Structure 1
Amino acid sequence: MRLPPFLTLTALEAAARHRSYSRAARELFVTHGAVSQQIRKLEDELGAPLFVRQGNSMIPTATGQRLADQVTAALATLHAAVDEARLAARGPLVISSGAAFASRWLVPRLARLAAETGEPDLIVRADDRIADLTTDGVDIALRFGRGPWPGVEASALMIDRIFPVCSPDFLARHPLRTPRDLLDVPLLRYIGRPWSVWLTAMGVDEAPRQQGLGFEDTALMLDTAAHGVGVALARSGLAERDLREGRLVRPFSGEIAVDTGNHFVWRADSPKLARILKLRDWFLAETAELRSS
């Protein structure tokens, strides 16, 4: 069985609380006649009187008072739910990112991100563990990988390319003219990506003759390369700033695309969805060149 219209129930609740149709009308920003009409309709639908007049007051009957009390409780529940949703929508936006992407790409852009999106409250968590957007209190994840991931939405930010980089000083001390010259210099290794991937693509089938340092953190590997320790196999998105500012250089132009990259990930049912999508659009605009190159 259908419920009476919401306006009818709120008219009953306000009239019972004020003992007056006129005061109920002022609270609800309607006319006295509108309140009276809504209550008459409800009395006709229920088949029972809800108010009796006593002098200038409208006194709820026992049926009217019980129903009004239940409507009051229901309205309180609705108000609490709306307040909770409003608070959730206004809370900080929590962004989870891998440590390397956070330090090399995100941190240099944070001030501009906040200014250009008007987002007042951002929290950045640098963690290489994949954040759970349901249980970890995270609104946005900047994930590295292939995707897709179940239960979430994702937009690809950049297509990764890999290529060798080293410091200008290292290049001056070790002239590198062809990819084969890399076989005789220290090669810094990221544990998740062997040098053979790039060397083979460049036509070099031999193994390096020196065992270079290995790293589980890409940012640390690039910092080590910038200090002249060896040549690193860099991801385009992470080496961009070092190359632009001259801490690293590319000894060769050869590069290859890989099937992994960074993605902007969110939940479609988030109470902060409007704010999340605004940030997503900013990230997509910021990385547009990296997706097309």
Structure 2
Amino acid sequence: MVVTFANNLTMARLPPFFALRALEAAARHRSYSRAAQELAVTHGAVSQQIRRLEAELGARLFERRGNGMIPTPDAQKLAAEVARGIGVLSNAVDDFHAAAFRAPLVISLESQFANRWLPPRLQRMLAHPAGANLEIRVEERRADFVTDGVDMAVRYGAGGWPDVECVHLVSESLIPVCSPEFLARHQLKTPQDLLNVPLLHHGHRPWSLWFNTFGLEAPRQQGMLFEDSAMLLEAAAQGIGAALARSGLIEQDLRTGRLVRPFAAGVASELGFWVVWRADSRKVRRIEALRDWLMAEAATAGRTESA
């Protein structure tokens, strides 16, 4: 005959963590008041947690002596073990945060931003602490922060994307540009002058957006049509025609004189570049540092353009 015995021993249920923290702090300070200050709670809250702990453990934990609260020998031993456990947990949390700093910060960039806006600033970014240990991905599709391993992104659009935080980085306007040689050859002085010169067209930015602002009827589309902004600007730089460009993409071309603006007037666009990230990212401190650096660079560029 086989006899079996049921094991009725079970692991004791742990008291609430905050009650254990109250015990440890009160035993270390020998004062409920100083423990309360450390834990940012009231004296009554600490006293209540100690009474709750005494009820669960079935033993008195402190004795009052004058103005002090003296832990019993058993309470002192328990407090020491709680302190050791808190130390283990603190080290584990520190290691978790340290891992977030050791891993690359993955940033997804729209290609035009990566190829036009960022290059003049790339050396400064990499020299700044916020630019350390980056993995930069250039992609046209909208990266998924959950499945693609991306920590932050610079997106082009009107903002308002769901489930993410976003801040406006660069406003854009649509402005005519051409090569210096093209400007000299055609003597462009007024918006009407553009009605009589070769125009370069982009599939998503018709010239009518600009001409209508000045009460002019845009000419029928003739000449070269581009879907890629970089090719459009290259054709303009080669003197083939005037192009309607996004202001955020031509800063370097204007600075070097490769392209010029025949007129100061531009048409405001509702679209622009935005910094986007998830608020619950474990790398949020690094994200915010890089976001702040990008915004400072954009603000500097804005002041330079308006000067």
TM over 0.5: yes
* Distance change in 2, residues 1:272/1:219 (3 Å): same
Question: For the Cα contact (< 8 Å) 2:130–2:289, is it kept in 1?
Answer: no
SS at match of 1:160: strand
What's the offset of the Cα at 1:132? 1.4
Match of 2:71 in 1: none
Match of 2:217 in 1: 205
Q: Does residue 1:176 correspond to 2:185, yes or no? A: no
The code of the aligned residue for 1:218 comes to: S
Q: Does residue 1:3 correspond to 2:16, yes or no? A: yes
What's the offset of the Cα at 1:235? 1.3
How far does the alpha carbon of each residue in 1:186-211 deviate from its partner, in whole angstroms, 9 at most, with x for none? 22222211110001112211424x61
How far does the alpha carbon of each residue in 1:72-108 deviate from its partner, in whole angstroms, 9 at most, with x for none? 9xx9999878645542343111111111111111122
What's the offset of the Cα at 1:46? 5.2
Match of 1:223 in 2: 234
What's the offset of the Cα at 1:7? 7.1
Question: For the Cα contact (< 8 Å) 2:130–2:290, is it kept in 1?
Answer: no
CA distance in 2, matches of 1:6, 1:212: 78
How far does the alpha carbon of each residue in 1:227-277 deviate from its partner, in whole angstroms, 9 at most, with x for none? 212111111111111001100001112211111111111111111111111
Match of 1:275 in 2: 286
Q: 254-263 vs 115-124, which deviates more?
A: 115-124
SS at match of 1:271: coil
TM-score w.r.t. structure 2 length?
0.68
CA distance in 1, matches of 2:249, 2:171: 12
Alignment of 1:52-131 (within 5 A): 83=95, 86-131=98-143
CA distance in 2, matches of 1:183, 1:76: 74
Equivalent pairs: percent with the same residue? 50
SS at match of 1:159: strand
Unaligned 5+ runs, structure 2 = 1-12, 25-52, 60-80
SS at match of 2:258: coil
Q: 1:256 aligns with which of 240, 256, 267?
A: 267
The code of the aligned residue for 1:236 comes to: S
* Distance change in 2, residues 1:86/1:248 (3 Å): same
The number of aligned residues is 240
Question: For the Cα contact (< 8 Å) 2:112–2:230, is it kept in 1?
Answer: yes
SS at match of 1:260: strand
* Distance change in 2, residues 1:3/1:203 (3 Å): same
What's the offset of the Cα at 1:216? 2.2
How far does the alpha carbon of each residue in 1:271-292 deviate from its partner, in whole angstroms, 9 at most, with x for none? 1111111111111111115567
Question: For the Cα contact (< 8 Å) 2:275–2:291, is it kept in 1?
Answer: yes
CA distance in 1, matches of 2:301, 2:170: 5
Q: 1:144 aligns with which of 156, 180, 192?
A: 156
What's the offset of the Cα at 1:168? 0.8
What's the offset of the Cα at 1:6? 5.8
Question: For the Cα contact (< 8 Å) 2:130–2:293, is it kept in 1?
Answer: no
Q: Does residue 1:161 correspond to 2:188, yes or no? A: no
CA distance in 1, matches of 2:94, 2:231: 46
TM-score w.r.t. structure 1 length?
0.71
CA distance in 2, matches of 1:86, 1:272: 10
* Distance change in 2, residues 1:46/1:194 (3 Å): same
Q: 1:193 aligns with which of 205, 217, 225?
A: 205
The code of the aligned residue for 1:228 comes to: G
The code of the aligned residue for 1:219 comes to: A
The code of the aligned residue for 2:277 comes to: W
RMSD in angstroms over aligned alpha carbons? 3.2
